[in-house]
């Protein structure tokens, strides 16, 4: 097997373990660090949280961050670098894209993100939310 294939398998095995094992402030954090995710101090990661499977080294999580149960963080669908996820203080509706600090709703998604969803299909399905309609979208 190629080295890249072995690394990919290792990262996916560690990801699955991190999603299901206990230890949000220690074991899960350690497993994600082994995968290559850059993680600061005092971080808690909820169960079933999926953090970038294909390119874990693209993700940096700062100090004193809480990642909620079943959260998904993807980095490889966008050419933008240096994207920050700010403080999310309210519920985010399903099929909604948030951005910024503090996080605000910026787009709705029509296509569910799945294993066979292409980046092109995902990007085409996004509908930009107008600032004035932002609060109406979560109803």
27 and 50 in contact (C-beta within 8 Å)?
no
Of the chain, the end-to-end C-alpha distance in Å amounts to 50
Cβ distance 32 to 56 under 8 Å?
yes
Structure token pair of residue 19: 């999603």
pLDDT digits (tens, 9 = 90+) for 55-114: 899 899 988 888 988 888 888 766 676 667 766 777 888 888 887 767 788 889 888 766
Ramachandran angles phi, psi of 84, nearest 5°? -115, 140
pLDDT digits (tens, 9 = 90+) for 100-130: 767 788 889 888 766 677 778 888 888 998 8
pTM (two decimals): 0.66
């Amino acid at each position: 097997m190629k080295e890249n294939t072995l690394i990919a398998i290792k990262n996916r095995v560690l990801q699955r373990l991190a999603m299901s094992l206990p230890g949000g402030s220690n074991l899960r954090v350690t497993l994600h660090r082994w995968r290559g995710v850059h993680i600061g101090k005092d971080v808690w990661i909820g169960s079933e949280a999926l953090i970038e499977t294909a390119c874990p080294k693209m993700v940096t999580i700062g100090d004193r961050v809480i990642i909620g149960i079943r959260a998904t963080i993807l980095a490889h669908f966008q050419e933008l670098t240096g994207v920050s996820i700010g403080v999310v203080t309210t519920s985010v509706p399903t099929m909604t894209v948030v951005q910024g600090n503090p996080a605000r709703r910026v787009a709705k998604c029509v296509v569910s993100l799945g294993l066979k969803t292409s980046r092109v299909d995902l990007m085409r399905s996004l509908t930009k939310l107008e600032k004035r309609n932002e609060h109406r979208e979560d109803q």
